[in-house]
Structure 1
């Protein structure tokens, strides 16, 4: 297992990060095109919103999974975690924009009324607000300016933001189908993993990347 993980880590170190910012927006562009062509079903606005929001949650989960994956298997995606987290934030912004533009028809007063009246929207907006300082400080300059300890403490806002994102998804669906509950379970497992004392975690099977 160690040899496989080491070989994969060597390959990952040669993979550039920046193209994934471009590739990451491809699904959003395809969904927008499909929506404009009326190819997203009977309610294209809602389908676009849900696809963007679900992708944001999936990316947040992927970012949270980087550390457990490295500790449990030795495979390190640390070089890509910042990109994954930023893409999650960008998809959240697109999710919000799609709701305001297509669902609320650019009526900001109606959007604000909905935010106040609908608890699941409040939960989603809270997650977005928590991620805002994380996104704004996701630079090497911010790390130097804040210092490693303060920067890490600030970026722990990702944990409650992801939990709120999962709650928002479960609350939004309302009918209790299995999919949002599965996502909520994965988020809970990843957060509980971080509560384990480091001695209780499985040691890394490969040398750190």
Structure 2
């Protein structure tokens, strides 16, 4: 639904078709990755979200596909695959680093990879999605078209970008909250045991 709304938003915009499609891919990738990272924390706080844990792997892979298509179009249409020039630009450099991480995570997002690596090592590898997400969020903010002025000139506020910034903030906040909730639950049995053992 979110991807469909983003598609409709850009289809109805007055942007050139090429620009609209490239932005649609970028925002869809960020939306899907944000959703995939919100599922786990939501399941921590409300068990009814637990059935979504398994499908989130597919959501994450879809996010990578959208991000990869976005990158390929930008690299070809705007830079002629001049990666040296792209790396020299900080917002693009961090995005490329994040994309490499997402590629590795997508390639290992299989039951076979879990069996080969062992669950503990696989889980450690998959946690690299968090720094990758921060890099992508930073890239998004730096390259946003409707959040800041360009060359001192005001630009129209982009509702889709604003909504996704709020979604990104919510995703990070949920991750932090779930981390502390998990630690609290993990420590609770020890605390209870100490209380039971006390005279």
Question: Taking CA–CA contacts closer than 8 Å with sequence separation of 6 or more, which of the two structures ends up with the larger relative contact order?
Answer: 1
Q: What count of residue pairs does the alignment treat as equivalent?
A: 166
8 Å CA contact 2:94–2:136 kept in 1: the answer is yes
8 Å CA contact 1:52–1:95 kept in 2: the answer is yes
Q: Which runs of 5+ in 1 are unaligned?
A: 1-22, 202-209
Question: 1:173 — aligned with what?
Answer: 144
1:114 partnered with 2:85? yes
TM superposition score normalised by structure 2: 0.72
| Greater C-alpha Rg | 2
Instruction: For 1:48-67, list aligned pairs within 5 A.
Output: 48-67=21-40
Q: Secondary structure at the match of 2:54?
A: helix
Instruction: For 1:1-209, list aligned pairs within 5 A.
Output: 41-75=14-48, 76=50, 77-104=52-79, 107-109=80-82, 112-173=83-144, 175-176=147-148, 179=162, 181-200=165-184
**CA offsets, 1:158-199, max 9 Å, x none?**
111111111110011274467164244224313323431515
Q: Check 1:122–1:166 CA distance in 2 against 1; reply closer, same or farther (3 A cut).
A: same
8 Å CA contact 1:59–1:84 kept in 2: the answer is yes
Q: Which runs of 5+ in 2 are unaligned?
A: 149-156, 186-199
Cα distance in 2 for partners of 1:192, 1:146 equals 27
Cα distance in 1 for partners of 2:102, 2:34 equals 14
Cα distance in 1 for partners of 2:112, 2:173 equals 32
4+ residue runs over 4 A deviation: none
TM superposition score normalised by structure 1: 0.69
Q: Secondary structure at the match of 1:196?
A: helix
